[in-house]
Amino acid sequence: MVKIDVEGCRSFVKSEDYKEYLGKALEAFDVLESGKGAGNDFLGWKTLPSDTPESLIKDCEAVRDLWQQKGVDLVVVIGIGGSYLGARCAIEALSHSFSRELGTGNTPEVVFAGNSLSEEYLAELMDLAAERNTACIVISKSGTTTEPAVAFRVVKAAIEERYKDASERIVAITDAHKGALKTLATQEGYKTFVVPDNVGGRFSVLTPVGLLPIVVAGFDVREMLAGAKEMEKVLAERSEKNPAVQYAAMRNLLYSKYGKAVEVLVSYNPKFQYLGEWWKQLYGESEGKDNKGIFPASVNFTTDLHSMGQFIQDGSRIMFETVVNIEKSNRSVVVGSDPQNLDQLNYLAGQHVDHCNHMAQLGTKLAHIDGGVPQLEVSIENISAYNLGSLFYFFEFSCGVSAYVLGVNPFNQPGVEAYKKNMFALLGKPGFEAETKAIHERLGK
Ligand code: PA5
Main-chain dihedrals φ then ψ at residue 385, nearest 5 degrees? -60, -40
Tell me how far apart the alpha carbons of residues 320 and 318 are, in angstroms, rounded to a whole number. Answer: 7
For residue 426, give the nearest of 414, 403, 409, 443 by alpha carbon.
Answer: 443
Say if ligand 1 is within 6 A of residue 146 CB.
no
Q: Does ligand 1 lie within 6 Å of residue 145's CB atom? A: yes
Closest C-alpha residue for ligand 1 atom 8: 81
Segment 262-272, tens digit of pLDDT = 999 999 999 99
Q: Which of 352, 355, 420, 429 is catalytic?
A: 420
Ligand 1 centroid to residue 176 C-alpha, Å: 15
36, 306, 417, 445: which one is catalytic? Answer: 306
Q: What average pLDDT does the segment 209-214 reach?
A: 98
pLDDT, position 329: 97
Q: Evaluate if residue 96 carries a pLDDT over 80.
A: yes
Indicate if the pLDDT at residue 111 is higher than 90. Answer: yes
Q: What is the pLDDT of residues 80-95, one digit of tens each?
A: 999 999 999 999 999 9
Q: What is the mean pLDDT of the segment spanning 414-441?
A: 89
Question: CB of 141 closer than 6 A to ligand 1?
Answer: yes
Rounded distance, CA 367 to CA 147, Å? 42
H helix runs in 11-142, sequence order: 15-34, 48-51, 54-69, 85-94, 99-102, 119-131
**Per-residue pLDDT, 416:** 84
Above 80 in pLDDT, residue 9?
yes
368 tagged catalytic: no
Amino acid at 420: K
CA 356 from chain center: how many Å?
A: 28
Closest residue by Cα to atom 5, ligand 1, is 81
Give the per-residue pLDDT at 414: 87
Please give the pLDDT value at position 383: 98
288 Cβ inside 6 Å of ligand 1: no
Alpha helices per DSSP H over 72-198: 85-94, 99-102, 119-131, 146-162, 180-188
358 noted as active-site residue: no
At 104, is the pLDDT very low, low, confident or very high (cuts 50, 70, 90)? Answer: confident
| Ligand 1 mean position, distance from CA 81 (Å) | 5
| Cβ–ligand 1 contact at 289 (below 6 Å) | no
CA distance readout (Å), 342 to 87, 91, 345, 346: 45, 40, 8, 9
* Whether 385 contacts 268, CB under 8 Å: no
Model confidence pLDDT, tens digit, residues 362-405: 999 999 999 999 999 999 999 999 999 999 999 999 999 999 99
**Number of CB atoms found within 10 A of residue 155's CB:** 25
Q: Using the 8-state DSSP alphabet, how is residue 139 labeled?
A: E
* Known catalytic residue at 306: yes
Q: Is the pLDDT of residue 336 over 80?
A: yes
174 pocket-lining for ligand 1 (C-beta < 6 Å): no
Residue 273: count of CB within 10 angstroms of its CB = 17
Residues 6+ apart with CB under 8 A from 410: 38, 39, 286, 287, 399, 400, 402, 403, 404
418 Cβ contact partners less than 8 Å away, ≥ 6 residues apart:
none
Candidate of 41, 42, 45, 80 to mutate for ligand 1, largest count of ligand atoms within 8 Å of Cβ: 80
Angle among Cα 330, 218, 278 to the nearest 5 degrees reads: 70
Give percent of the chain with pLDDT exceeding 70: 100
Q: How many residues does the chain have?
A: 445
pLDDT at 304: 94
Q: How far is the CA of 165 from the centre of ligand 1 (A)?
A: 29
pTM of the model: 0.96
319 vs 99, more confident: 319
- How far is ligand 1, taken at its centre, from the CA of residue 23, in Å? 33
Separation of CA 257 and ligand 1 centre (Å): 32
DSSP letter for 116, please: S
Residues in CB range of 444: below 8 A, 6 or more apart: none
Q: Is 201 in the pocket of ligand 1 (CB under 6 A)?
A: yes
Distance 376 CA to ligand 1 centre (A): 29
Q: Under a CB-based contact definition with an 8 Å cutoff, are residues 325 and 377 in contact?
A: yes
Residue 277: count of CB within 10 angstroms of its CB: 19
The finding on whether 207 has its CB within 6 A of some atom of ligand 1 is no
What is the atom index within ligand 1 of the atom nearest the CA of 79?
15
> What single string gives the DSSP state of each residue in 260-275?
--EEEEEESSGGGHHH
- Residue 417 pLDDT: 83
Rounded Cα gap, residues 380 and 387, in angstroms? 6
Q: Which residues on neighbouring strands pair with residue 5, listed in sequence order?
A: 377
Confidence bin at 326 (pLDDT 50/70/90)? very high
Q: What are the phi and psi torsion angles at 262 (to 5°)?
A: -125, 130
Q: Which atom of ligand 1 is nearest to the CA of 147?
A: 15
Torsions phi, psi for 172 (to 5 deg) = -110, 140
Question: Tens digits of per-residue pLDDT, 239-270?
Answer: 999 999 999 999 999 999 999 999 999 999 99
Q: What is the pLDDT of residue 102?
A: 85
Catalytic residue among 285, 287, 321, 377: 285
Q: How far is the CA of 2 from the centre of ligand 1 (A)?
A: 27
Average pLDDT score over residue span 27-34: 98
Name the residue among 191, 154, 119 with its Cα closest to residue 182.
Answer: 191
Using the predicted structure, report yes or no on whether residue 155 has a pLDDT greater than 80. yes
Cβ pair 405, 24 in contact under 8 A = yes
Q: What is the mean pLDDT of the chain?
A: 96
Query: Cα dist. 122→8, 148, 185 in Å?
Result: 44, 11, 22
Core vs surface per residue 224-250: b (16+ CB within 10 A) or e: bbebbbbbbebbeeeeeebbbbbbbbb
Query: Do 129 and 76 form a contact (C-beta atoms < 8 A)?
Result: yes
The residues, ordered by sequence, that sit 6+ positions from 357 with a Cβ below 8 Å of its Cβ are 268, 302, 329
